Amino acid sequence: MAQNKHTTAVIFNTLRDRICLLDYPPGTVLREAALAKEFGISRTPIRAVLQRLEHGALVAVRDGVGTIVTDLDSTELKDIYEMRQKMAELIGVLSPREITYADEQAAIDLLGRAKRLVKDYSASEYWQINHAQHALIADLIGNAVLRETWDQLYYRSARFWYREASHAPEGVAGDLVAELSEVVRALHKRDAVAVGYTQRNFIAYGFAKLQAALSPDQPIS
Amino acid sequence: MAQNKHTTAVIFNTLRDRICLLDYPPGTVLREAALAKEFGISRTPIRAVLQRLEHGALVAVRDGVGTIVTDLDSTELKDIYEMRQKMAELIGVLSPREITYADEQAAIDLLGRAKRLVKDYSASEYWQINHAQHALIADLIGNAVLRETWDQLYYRSARFWYREASHAPEGVAGDLVAELSEVVRALHKRDAVAVGYTQRNFIAYGFAKLQAALSPDQPIS
DNA sequence: TTTTGAATAGGTGCATACAGCAAGATCAGG
DNA sequence: CCTGATCTTGCTGTATGCACCTATTCAAAA
């Protein structure tokens, strides 16, 4: 019955992905007992995982009710996206690590996958490329504190972007190709500042797309 | 035996203050059973509090050993301080709330307390003024995400600054007067950007002081 | 004397029973 | 029929016993 720390990490990632991929849409009520039964463990480690998710602002635990997947109003979404843009601008400023040939190659691989995605779209593949691009860029960040914040904000906003991408999948694959093309160019020039500003720009473009699809002052779902 | 959510929040603040005020210096081993006995509750809610502290990077829970108060090497300290400076620069940029006469008066009160502190120094009073100034400025931040990050980084770095202030108390009271004077000036002009830049500057001054007192690449304690 | 191994003590991680809380269901009264 | 208080159900919060992990100690062998 012993569950090591790795097991709880797997459960955390599983639940986080389910929330980000809208398997658990905002407002969903999660029950500790049900999750415990599903993963074959007791409520205690499940509660620890839910507390971590709550700290990441993905869920809210309410006594006597359950653990509710959070939603965002337009103000909160704006705050997150504005912050993400500012964090992107810092990527190349706060002592980034040196860009290598391997980084460039990894981005070129992702670009190839994105190009194939234009002809043959798949939501799952889109998401995986997005994730990989995020991990690639996060790894360039030298400042550990910035990297943590960058990571948290990515997961905090991912599902709302994923939702928009699901609703209008025609353009997003092409946009991803454009974004990765710029990332490849910046990496080829070994210019971390350019990588950061590219990220800032496409985060801003994405936010504009989200706002256009959103009636003002209305909850998202 | 029922302990409401307020009680755990009190315990969290208590332990956080003990860590920040170096009642628990870095390396201290906290035991769940001992804390549970002290606060008259069981280990379960204590564990939840420690998990929150761990997420704030103030402690590290190690299986079979205990909960250890963290230390920082010079790289981590640099990362935190660089990030704090950048966050300060954003205070006036990311839609701050409007500055009121009450804000200015609160800062003037703090300035008066700081001036009295120069003649009659007290570590506890110094800390309380510092805390109040932080709360005052955090309250000006309009972007909720930035405010959370600002808050977390403050508590994450506070004890190392507090340690330096305890070692060399002669200058810090005067520096606090200078800082609050600038804050009052910025608030009087209703200039949130100026408030942010003032914070950036004094964070940078403080970091320089810390670095001067620190031998390079050595742990702090 | 040094080194290595097991035994031991004390800690966290987990499972589970019970207490307290919140929301909906139910029933009495108007 | 409608309204409001009460009851019921099911959830999270807490306490506690046990399993497992870690560091230390001590003894035995080289």
Q: Is A79's CB within 8 Å of B63's CB?
A: no
With respect to residue B199, please indicate whether it lies within any of the assigned structural domains.
Answer: yes
Percentage of chain B beyond pLDDT 90 is: 88
Is B57 among the domain residues? yes
B61 membership: H or E segment, kind and range = strand B59-62
The residue of chain B with its CA nearest to that of A141 is B79
Q: Cβ A94–B76 below 8 Å, yes or no?
A: no
Indicate if B112 and B153 belong to the same structural domain: yes
How close does chain B come to A104, measured CA to CA in Å?
26
Among A38, A69, A100, the domain boundary falls at A69
Q: Which of B73, B142, B196, B156 is nearest to A145 (CA)?
A: B156
- Closest CA to the C1' of C21: that residue is A64
A149: which chain B residues are within 8 Å (Cβ-Cβ)?
83, 149
pLDDT of residue A1: 43
The predicted structure's pLDDT at residue B54: 98
B123-145 pLDDT, tens per residue? 899 999 999 999 999 999 999 99
Whether the CB-CB separation of B164 and B209 falls below 8 Å is answered with: yes
Question: Are B48 and B115 contained in the same domain?
Answer: no
Q: Is there a contact between B181 and B118 (Cβ–Cβ < 8 Å)?
A: no
Q: Based on the domain organization, do B41 and B80 belong to the same domain?
A: no
Per-residue pLDDT of chain A (221 residues; tens, 9 = 90+): 445 788 999 999 999 999 999 999 999 999 999 999 999 999 999 999 999 999 999 999 999 999 999 999 999 999 999 999 999 999 999 999 999 999 999 999 999 999 999 999 998 999 999 999 999 999 999 999 999 999 999 999 999 999 999 888 888 999 999 999 999 999 999 999 999 999 999 999 999 999 988 765 444 44
User: Residue A86: its chain B contacts at CB < 8 A?
Assistant: 90, 93-94
Domain that holds residue B172: 74-212
Total number of domains constituting chain B:
2
**Alpha carbons A143 and A97: distance in angstroms, whole number:** 9
Q: Which among B79, B93, B144 has the least Cβ separation from residue A145?
A: B79
Domain boundary among B19, B46, B69: B69
Taking Cα atoms as reference points, which of B173, B175, B177, B198 lies closest to residue B187?
Answer: B198
**What pLDDT shows up at residue A4?**
75
Mark whether B85 and B145 lie in a shared domain: yes
The half-sphere exposure of A136 on its side-chain side, counting CA atoms within 13 A, is 27
Query: Looking at CA atoms only, how far is residue A159 from chain B in angstroms?
Result: 17
> Which domain CATH number covers A181?
1.20.120.530
The answer to whether the CB atoms of B82 and A63 lie below 8 A apart is no
**Distance measured from the CA of protein residue A5 to the C1' of nucleotide D30, in angstroms:** 40
Q: Looking up tokens 């205070």, which residue turns up?
A: B91
Q: Please give residues of chain B from 185 to 214 whose alpha-adjacent beta carbon (CB) lies under 7 Å from any atom of strand D.
A: none
Tell me the ipTM for this assembly.
Answer: 0.91
Report DSSP state, residue A214: S
Does residue B37 sit in the same domain as residue B101? no
Residue B90 and residue B188 in one domain: yes
Contact B75, A145 (CB under 8 A): no
Using an 8 Å CB-CB cutoff, list residues of chain A that contact chain B: 5, 47-48, 51-52, 55, 63, 76, 79-80, 82-83, 86, 90, 93-95, 143-146, 149, 153
**What pLDDT is recorded for position A3?**
57
Total Cβ atoms within 10 A of residue A202:
19
- Cβ of A79 within 8 Å of Cβ of B143? The answer is yes
Strands B66-69 and B29-30: antiparallel
- First-last CA distance in chain A: 39
Domain membership flag for residue B155: yes
> Which pLDDT score is estimated for A170?
80
Tally of CB atoms within 10 A around B37: 13
Do A98 and A126 lie in a common domain? Answer: yes
Is B171 strand, coil or helix? Answer: helix
What pLDDT does B4 receive? Answer: 74
User: Distance, angstroms, CA B68 to C1' D26?
Assistant: 28
CA at A83, C1' at C17: how many angstroms apart?
A: 46
The answer to whether residue A26 sits within a structural domain is yes
Q: Which residues of A touch B2 (CB under 8 A)?
A: none
Nucleotide nearest to B1 (CA to C1'): D14
| Nucleotide minimizing C1' to CA distance for residue B47 | C12
Per-residue pLDDT at A5: 81
Of B52, B63, B80, the CB nearest to A145: B80
B188 falls within a domain: yes
Dump pLDDT digits (tens) for B152-211: 999 999 999 999 998 888 789 999 999 999 999 999 999 999 999 999 999 999 999 999
How far apart are the C-alpha atoms of B47 and B109, rounded to whole Å? 39
User: Is the pLDDT confidence value at B28 over 90?
Assistant: yes
Give the pairing of strands A29-30 and A59-62.
Answer: unpaired
B50, B67 in Cβ contact below 8 A? Answer: yes
Residue B43 and residue B101 share a domain: no
Dist CA B193 CA B89 (whole Å): 7
* pLDDT classification of B217: cutoffs 50, 70, 90: very low
Burial of B169: CB neighbours in 10 Å, binned 0-12, 13-18, 19+: middle
The nt closest to A34 (CA vs C1′) is: D11
Residue A182 placed within a domain: yes
Using one digit for the tens of pLDDT, what is the confidence trace for B89-132?
A: 999 999 899 999 999 999 999 999 999 999 999 989 999 999 99
A220 belongs to a structural domain: no
For residues B174 and B114, state if they share a domain: yes
Read off the tokens for B1.
Answer: 């035996």
- Residue A42 shares a structural domain with residue A121: no
State both tokens at A131. Answer: 């994730």
DSSP label at A28? Answer: P
Give the nearest nucleotide to A66, CA to C1': D11
- What percentage of chain B carries pLDDT values higher than 70? 95
List b or e across B79-107, with b for residues whose CB sees 16 or more CB atoms inside 10 angstroms.
Answer: bbbbbbbbbbbbbbebebeebeeebbebb
Residue that is last in its domain, among A34, A53, A69: A69
Closest residue in A to B81 (Cα–Cα): A145
Same domain, B17 and B32: yes
Contact A86 B90 (CB under 8 A): yes
Which CATH number fits the domain that encloses residue B38?
1.10.10.10
Both A25 and A86 in a single domain?
A: no
Whether residue B135 lies inside any domain: the answer is: yes
